[in-house]
Chain A
Amino acid sequence: MAVEDPADRSAGGATPGTRLNREVFAGLFLIVSAAVGYFGTLPLDAGSMSGVGPGLLPKAVSLGLAAFGVYLMVIGLLGNHERIDGFSLRGTIFILGAILAFAATVRPLGLLVAGPLAMLISSMADPDTRPLEIVIFTAFMTAGCYLLFKVVLHLPIPLLPPLLGY
Chain B
Amino acid sequence: MWDLISNLQLGLSVAGSLKNAGLCFLGCLIGTLIGVLPGVGPIATIAMLLPLTFGLDPVGALIMLAGIYYGAQYGGSTTAILVNIPGEATAVVTVLDGHQMAKQGRAGIALGIAAIGSFIAGTIATVIIAAAAKPLTTLALMFGPADYFALMVLGLMFAVVLARGSVPKAIAMILLGILLSVVGTDIETGEERLTFGWMEVADGIDFAVIAMGMFGFAEILRNLENKEARAVVSGEIGRLLPNMADLKVSLAPILRGTGIGSLLGFLPGNGAVLGPFASYSVEKKIAADPSRFGQGAIEGVAGPESANNAGAQTAFIPLLTLGIPPNAVMALMIGAMTIHGIVPGPQIITKQPELFWGMIASMWIGNLMLLIINLPLIGIWVKLLQVPYRLMFPAIIIFCCIGIYSINNSPTEVVLTAAFALFGYTLIKLGFEAAPLLLGFVLGKLMEEKLRQAMVISRGSLWTFMERPVSLTLLVLTLVILVVSALPAISKRRETVFTE
Chain B contact residues (Cβ within 8 angstroms of A): what range?
35 or more
Closest to B165 in A: A6
Residues of B near A103 (CB, < 8 A) are: 401, 405, 411-412, 414-415, 418
B interface residues, Cβ below 8 angstroms from A = 34, 37, 48, 164-166, 168-169, 171-172, 175-176, 178-179, 182, 186, 188-189, 191, 193-194, 196, 217, 220-222, 224-226, 229, 388-391, 393-395, 397-399, 401-402, 405-406, 409, 411-412, 414-415, 417-418, 421-422, 425-426, 428-432, 448, 451-452, 455-456, 458-462, 489, 492-493, 496, 500
Contacts of A57 in B (CB 8 A): 178, 182, 448, 451
Residue of A nearest to B196 (CB): A40
Chain A, residues 42-69, CB within 8 Å of chain B (1/0): the string is: 0010001111111001100110110011
Interface contact B418-A100, CB-CB below 8 Å: yes
Q: Are B390 and A99 in contact (CB under 8 A)?
A: no
Write the nearest CB–CB distance from B433 to chain A, whole angstroms.
Answer: 8
A3 touching B191, Cβ below 8 Å: no
Q: What is the bound-complex CA distance between A152 and B166, given in angstroms? A: 47
Interfacial chain A residues near B421, Cβ < 8 Å: 95-96, 99
Question: For B164, B178, B459, which residue has the most chain A Cβ atoms within 10 angstroms?
Answer: B178
Q: Which residue from B166, B226, B401, B415 sits with its C-beta under 8 Å from A118?
A: B401
Q: Are B394 and A49 in contact (CB under 8 A)?
A: no
Q: Given A91-B225, A104-B411, is A22 in contact with B431 using a C-beta cutoff of 8 Å?
A: yes
* One of A58, A68, A129, A157 near B402 (C-beta < 8 A): A157
Contacting pair A11 B221 (CB below 8 A): no
A137 close to B391 (CB less than 8 A): yes
The reply to whether A26 and B455 contact each other, CB–CB distance below 8 Å, is: no
Expressed in whole angstroms, the Cα–Cα distance for A102 and B417 within the complex equals 12
Q: Which residues from chain B contact A1 at a C-beta distance below 8 Å?
A: 229
Q: Which residues of B contact A8 (CB under 8 A)?
A: 166, 489, 492-493, 496
Query: For residue A125, which residue of chain B has the nearest CB?
Result: B224
Residue in B390, B397, B458 with the greatest tally of chain A CB atoms within 10 Å:
B397
Q: Which of A16-43 contact B (CB under 8 A)?
A: 22-23, 25-26, 29-30, 33, 36-37, 40-41
Task: Tell me which of A22, A92, A129, A149 contacts B430 (CB under 8 A).
Answer: A22
How many chain A residues have a CB neighbour from B under 8 Å? 82
Q: Looking across the interface, which residue of chain A has its beta carbon closest to that of B447?
A: A57
9 further contact pairs, Cβ within 8 A, besides A68-B169, A104-B411: A7-B165, A8-B492, A40-B193, A49-B455, A58-B179, A72-B168, A103-B411, A111-B402, A145-B402
A4-B451 CB under 8 A given contacts A100-B415, A138-B394: no
A64-87 CB mask vs B (1 if < 8 Å, else 0) is: 110011011000000000001101
Give Cα A120 to B398, complex, Å. 10
**Which residue of A has the minimal Cβ distance to B185?**
A54
List of B residues within 8 angstroms of A162 by Cβ: none
A99 touches B455 (CB 8 A): no
Q: Which residues of B contact A123 (CB under 8 A)?
A: 390, 394
Point out the residues of chain A lying under 8 angstroms from B222, CB to CB. 3
Chain B residues whose C-beta falls within 8 Å of the C-beta of A115 in the assembled complex: 398, 401-402
Are A58 and B193 closer than 8 Å at their CB atoms?
Answer: yes
Complex Cα distance, B403 from A148, in Å, reads 12
A-B residue pairs, 4 tightest by C-beta: A50-B460, A6-B165, A49-B460, A103-B414
Cβ of A119 and Cβ of B168 under 8 Å apart? no
- Give every chain A residue within 8 A of B430 (Cβ-Cβ): 22, 25-26, 29, 84
For A118, what are the chain B residues with a Cβ–Cβ distance below 8 Å?
Answer: 394, 397-398, 401
CA separation between A125 and B391, bound complex, in Å? 11
Inter-chain contact B456/A122, CB cutoff 8 Å: no
B175 touches A157 (CB 8 A): no
Q: In the complex, which of the residues A99, A100, A142, A156 has the most CB atoms of chain B within 10 Å of its own CB atom?
A: A99
Whether a CB of chain B sits under 8 angstroms from the CB of A153 is: yes
Contact yes or no, B428 A119, CB < 8 A: no
Minimum distance in angstroms from B169 CB to a CB of chain A: 7
B145 to A: closest C-beta gap in Å: 11
In whole angstroms, what is the CA distance A23 to B412 when docked?
A: 33
A134 at the binding interface (Cβ < 8 Å): yes
Q: Is A54's CB under 8 angstroms from B188's CB?
A: yes
Given A22-B430, A103-B415, A115-B402 in contact, is the A50-B459 Cβ separation under 8 Å? yes
CB distance from B386 to the nearest CB of A (A): 14
| B293 CB → nearest A CB, Å | 13
Closest approach, in angstroms, between the C-beta of A54 and any C-beta of chain B? 4
